[in-house]
Amino acid sequence: MTVLSDFAAIQFSPDDGTFERPYRVGDNPGNDTPNGPLQIPFNTGGMHHSPALLTLMVRGITVTDGARVAIRTTNGEIDIGRLLPVRAEDVDVWRHEQFIIPTNVLSGSNSMANTLVIGRAGPQGSRDDFEVRDIVCFFHQST
């Protein structure tokens, strides 16, 4: 049986969320996360309802609790995992993280009905600034 798959690069524009211009999350956000978590809408049009895979690169988290990763749709917000901290000596090292998005969480409509939410790390007023880039969602596509 043939299985079709597709992916969505999750970014505000083609220049954002890249190695040269990662998204910054924390108390001192750049132009991408003003006063809150990183929230990026994305499209999974034509998706078949099955699990999906979210991958991204992250660096700079050192606080114990890490940062929450969730998907928001018209049905609400579902936590899919946490970006975990690293030792202080590894704070500048990019690392790969991946998360399984359960079946029936993503909207398969042709609109930007899904939003990736990456929360800030640490207590308010002393957030741990960190960066993410190369965010991609892989999903099963209907035939």
- What's the pTM value of the predicted model, to 2 decimals? 0.85
Model pLDDT for residues 45-77, shown as the tens digit of each residue: 777 778 999 999 999 988 778 888 999 988 789
| DSSP-assigned letter for residue 136 | E
Helix spans in 3-108 (H): none
The average confidence (pLDDT) of the chain is: 83
Question: What residue type is assigned to position 99 of the chain?
Answer: F
Please determine, for residue 33, whether its predicted confidence score (pLDDT) is greater than 50: no
Q: Which domains does the chain have, with CATH numbers?
A: 4-141 (2.60.120.260)
Torsion of CA 93, 84, 87, 21, to 10 degrees: 30
Confidence band, pLDDT 50/70/90 cuts, at residue 97: very high
